[in-house]
With several copies, the nearest count.
Chain A
């Protein structure tokens, strides 16, 4: 099993989620993160004091799935998250050794 971690632009979340559901992916977990990268942040000014805010709001999507589904899932994420502009984000793949569904105790692919 693998875990896909995708860092994407917040307003792309809905489409990515739809795309993944269509693939038959039944679960995912998202969280709000702030990203630092090539995409420039923005300037803020409070009473004349200027701050350069380097971090940009992003959404992190985590999906644990069978290794065999990784390529399709990555493709969907790329298609749905891409705007072509800098800051579209990244997809990382991390190995997962076990997965358990708390409610039933099922493990492995049944847990997903």
Chain B
């Protein structure tokens, strides 16, 4: 065991936990004030709900003893056998439980990302149930496939450094299913649904960015060159993503917006996530630009197709997830990460194919299962609040609170 690596992953775990707090604010600032608390609560309570799920069966399903490459067994239920001795495969220089809690924070933020799609109109109870089911039946398997010891996507050679498959693409696709199934908010497209507190959104974006260093650099699982290069790639892609997005805004609607800058940064950070440990700074800069442009067009799609992905989870994490896995197949280089593989631009077109397989599989599996889970919960309890409650807002109707009493 190494004290430097252990410190690194412990702090990174704390940083990733902070991301979900940042996400709560990032999202809450974009909704109307009558839904501010309900939106924060969806992210906040997921930290609690999914952590419990994770220590009971989640970690075991995702990282436990492999079964036919598709799922981890329940041998580690309740962390049985997950002790302090380093795991021989996952992270050899830190306590196993430290690896477990670091991964826990990833499992937490993923369903929280989805909440942006059904913001301002989902009932609290059914939301809890859906999130629990989704974590169990979508996140855990996907995490096993790509990161679990023996997972078939990993064995296939798919490159996903920090969460293109299990985190961004999966949440983006689930978001699409949710947006379609729940339908539009009253007033979508007709009334002004303006963000109620953009400084809060910018603060959230800042905390997300800060935490993302733990998310991506920490995925190196050791404090060395790889962590360093992932850190640099992450930061650079976030910056070029922000610049590219506001450039697009400037061309299309005439002005660079603050929300655009934040959105572009998140787009860049999300897109570089699977690539972070496989690419150099200049590749990362290009990836960020592609992310800013691609995700900007992605959120525009919403207005074209007319589904109400309220806070643009599809446009940013869905599009970003696809882009990220693709560019990893393009820019990956063993010169940066000997443990990885070369991408198309480094003479290995096969890798791009493998990445496409991962994209396709993830999208299909996630969409189908997410849709089914949403349908089931909807039939059983009803996902959507009544129109009257939607008008009064989630804060009063779901939680009997109001966000502001200035």
Q: In whole Å, how far is B175's beta carbon from the nearest beta carbon of chain A?
A: 15
Q: How far is the CA of A57 from the CA of B323 in the complex (A)?
A: 43
Q: Which residues of A contact B300 (CB under 8 A)?
A: 48
Interface presence of B225 (CB below 8 A):
no
Contact pick for A48, options B192, B303, B401, CB 8 Å: B303
Q: In whole Å, how far is A5's beta carbon from the nearest beta carbon of chain B?
A: 23
Q: Are A51 and B194 in contact (CB under 8 A)?
A: yes
Residue of B nearest to A50 (CB): B253
State which of B73-81, B257-265, B280-288, B361-369 sits at the interface with chain A. B257-265
Q: Which residues of A contact B303 (CB under 8 A)?
A: 48-49
Interface presence of A94 (CB below 8 A):
no
Q: Are B194 and A44 in contact (CB under 8 A)?
A: yes
Interface presence of A42 (CB below 8 A):
yes
Q: How far is the CA of A67 from the CA of B249 in the complex (A)?
A: 48
Interface presence of A92 (CB below 8 A):
no
Q: Are B191 and A45 in contact (CB under 8 A)?
A: no
Q: Are B263 and A47 in contact (CB under 8 A)?
A: yes
Q: Are B396 and A46 in contact (CB under 8 A)?
A: no
Q: Are A46 and B195 in contact (CB under 8 A)?
A: yes
Q: In whole Å, how far is B267's beta carbon from the nearest beta carbon of chain A?
A: 11
Contact with B along A1-36 (1 / 0, CB 8 A): 000000000010010000000000000000000000
Given known pairs A11-B391, A53-B192, the reply for A48 and B299 (CB within 8 Å) is yes
Q: Which residues of A contact B396 (CB under 8 A)?
A: 42, 44
Given known pairs A11-B187, A11-B391, the reply for A45 and B192 (CB within 8 Å) is no
Q: Which residues of A contact B187 (CB under 8 A)?
A: 11
Given known pairs A11-B187, A11-B391, the reply for A46 and B255 (CB within 8 Å) is no
Q: How far is the CA of A45 from the CA of B396 in the complex (A)?
A: 10
Q: Are B191 and A43 in contact (CB under 8 A)?
A: no
Q: How far is the CA of A20 from the CA of B254 in the complex (A)?
A: 31
Q: Are B263 and A45 in contact (CB under 8 A)?
A: no
Interface of A is mostly: strand
Q: How far is the CA of A48 from the CA of B260 in the complex (A)?
A: 9
Q: Which of under 10, 10 to 19, 20 to 34, or 35 or more describes the interface residues of A?
A: 10 to 19
Q: How far is the CA of A47 from the CA of B259 in the complex (A)?
A: 7
Contact with A along B299-343 (1 / 0, CB 8 A): 110010000000010000000000000000000000000000000
Q: Are A42 and B191 in contact (CB under 8 A)?
A: no
Given known pairs A43-B400, A44-B401, A44-B402, the reply for A14 and B252 (CB within 8 Å) is no
Q: How far is the CA of A14 from the CA of B189 in the complex (A)?
A: 13
Q: Which residues of B contact A14 (CB under 8 A)?
A: 191-192
Residue of B nearest to A9 (CB): B391
Interface presence of B392 (CB below 8 A):
yes
Q: Are A48 and B194 in contact (CB under 8 A)?
A: no
Contact with A along B29-66 (1 / 0, CB 8 A): 01000000000000000000000000000000000000
Residue of A nearest to B190 (CB): A14
Interface presence of B215 (CB below 8 A):
no
Q: Are B299 and A45 in contact (CB under 8 A)?
A: no
Interface presence of B118 (CB below 8 A):
no
Contact with B along A50-77 (1 / 0, CB 8 A): 1101000000000000000000000000
Given known pairs A51-B192, A51-B194, the reply for A46 and B252 (CB within 8 Å) is no
Q: Which residues of B contact A53 (CB under 8 A)?
A: 192, 402
Q: In whole Å, how far is B194's beta carbon from the nearest beta carbon of chain A?
A: 6
Q: How far is the CA of A103 from the CA of B120 in the complex (A)?
A: 27
Q: How far is the CA of A98 from the CA of B263 in the complex (A)?
A: 51
Q: How far is the CA of A43 from the CA of B254 in the complex (A)?
A: 11
Q: Which residues of A contact B195 (CB under 8 A)?
A: 46
Q: Are B249 and A45 in contact (CB under 8 A)?
A: yes
Contact with B along A66-102 (1 / 0, CB 8 A): 0000000000000000000000000000000000000
Q: Which residues of B contact A46 (CB under 8 A)?
A: 30, 194-195, 257, 259, 401
Residue of B nearest to A32 (CB): B406
Residue of A nearest to B315 (CB): A47
Q: How far is the CA of A11 from the CA of B187 in the complex (A)?
A: 9
Q: How far is the CA of A53 from the CA of B402 in the complex (A)?
A: 11
Q: How far is the CA of A44 from the CA of B403 in the complex (A)?
A: 11
Instruction: Sample 26 A-B pairs with CB under 8 A, ordered by A number.
Output: A11-B187, A14-B191, A14-B192, A42-B392, A42-B400, A44-B396, A45-B253, A45-B255, A45-B257, A45-B401, A46-B30, A46-B194, A46-B195, A46-B257, A46-B401, A47-B263, A47-B299, A48-B249, A48-B252, A48-B253, A48-B296, A48-B300, A49-B303, A51-B192, A51-B194, A53-B192
Known A11-B191, A44-B400, A46-B194; 7 more pairs at CB < 8 Å = A45-B257, A46-B257, A47-B312, A48-B299, A50-B253, A51-B194, A53-B192
